[in-house]
Amino acid sequence: MSWSTFVDFALAPWQTQGQNREEKPTPSQSYDHENEQQRDEPLQLQHDEQIVEQCVADKNDRASIHNDDLSKGREELTESLNSALSHDSQLLKELDQCDFVYDVMAGPPGKNQLRRCMMLSFHADTDIMSKEAHQRLGTSIEPYQGAPIPVLGLQDSKPVGIAEVQWSFCGRSKPYRTAFYVVEDVEYDLLIGRPSMRQHELYRVDPAIAERLRDSYRRQ
């Protein structure tokens, strides 16, 4: 072994230990590093707290906006319901004053029949047929010599004449015969008043007819 080799071999462990000592932190370095970490921790905590506070504030803001929207929606729904109920109540009152309209097959007794509209009026006591319907149906007519009569939708009017019609509700086979006053300038084809409803027992055809007919007489 040469002298230079021996020197290198002898110094190698010491150099390694020196290098290791340089790599290990000194107590003072460790203390400074710990202090630096401790100083950074409050800053990190404070930063985290700010993030949490901001998230909570944003959540509260969103909740407040959501609650406002819900409150506004409830108010609008309440107003709509109140308006609908008020409208329905008024509509029911108006319907209570309305008459019933049915499709019927009508014509001269024993002859061909045509489809017409018949009004059942709970505000009239006379049976009316328009002059136009009389002409279309081809019914025979007898002259009228009496005084003017009450006509629904018009002032008291003098009929053109009296015509007998055979008719039945569409979809039903039972026939009826009614003598109608033929009147000009009315907008309906045929109108049946309360006395004829009772005579023909039309309250048996539809329960609604029976109820309205009964109520109409109670109000007199």
Question: Per the structure, how many domains does the chain have?
Answer: 2
- Structural domain containing residue 175: 100-218
Which pLDDT value is given to residue 21? 45
Question: How sure is the predictor about 61, in pLDDT bands with cuts at 50, 70 and 90?
Answer: low
Which pLDDT value is given to residue 91? 44
Q: What is the dihedral of CA 174, 178, 184, 185, to 10 degrees?
A: -40
Mean pLDDT of the 68-86 span? 59
pLDDT above 90 coverage of the chain, percent:
49
**Measured distance CA(121)–CA(196) in Å, rounded:** 10
Which pLDDT value is given to residue 219? 81
Q: Are 172 and 111 contained in the same domain?
A: yes
- Residue 149: which of 119, 117, 166, 124 has the closest Cα? 124
**Measured distance CA(116)–CA(103) in Å, rounded:** 6
Which pLDDT value is given to residue 79? 65
* 122: enclosing H helix or E strand: none
Question: How sure is the predictor about 36, in pLDDT bands with cuts at 50, 70 and 90?
Answer: low
Tokens of 130: 């328009």
Q: Look at residues 54, 72, 96 and tell me which one is the last residue of a structural domain.
A: 96
Which pLDDT value is given to residue 62? 55
Residue 211 neighbours by CB under 8 Å, 6+ apart: none
Which pLDDT value is given to residue 153? 87
**Measured distance CA(16)–CA(22) in Å, rounded:** 10
Mean pLDDT of the 143-164 span? 94
Residue 196 neighbours by CB under 8 Å, 6+ apart: 127, 178, 202
Q: What is the pTM of this model?
A: 0.58
Q: Look at residues 62, 77, 96 and tell me which one is the last residue of a structural domain.
A: 96
Distances (CA, A) of 128 to 109, 121, 170: 17, 10, 20
Tokens of 19: 């290098």
Q: Are 107 and 148 contained in the same domain?
A: yes
Please indicate whether residue 16 or residue 138 has the higher confidence score (pLDDT). 138
Residues 209/100, Cβ–Cβ less than 8 Å: yes
- The overall average pLDDT reported for the chain is 75
Q: What is the pLDDT of residues 19-34, one digit of tens each?
A: 444 455 555 554 455 5
CA 119 to chain centre: 30
CA angle 123, 129, 130 (to 5 degrees): 110
**Measured distance CA(219)–CA(97) in Å, rounded:** 12
Q: Look at residues 96, 116, 137 and tell me which one is the last residue of a structural domain.
A: 96
Q: Are 111 and 88 contained in the same domain?
A: no
Which pLDDT value is given to residue 40? 52
Please indicate whether residue 98 or residue 191 has the higher confidence score (pLDDT). 191
Q: Which of 1-5, 44-48, 72-76 has the lowest mean pLDDT?
A: 1-5
Report the length, in residues, of the chain.
220
**Measured distance CA(129)–CA(133) in Å, rounded:** 7
pLDDT above 80 for 128: yes
Residue 181, helix vs strand vs coil? strand
pLDDT above 60 for 135: yes
pLDDT above 50 for 44: yes
Q: Are 176 and 76 contained in the same domain?
A: no
16 is a domain residue: no
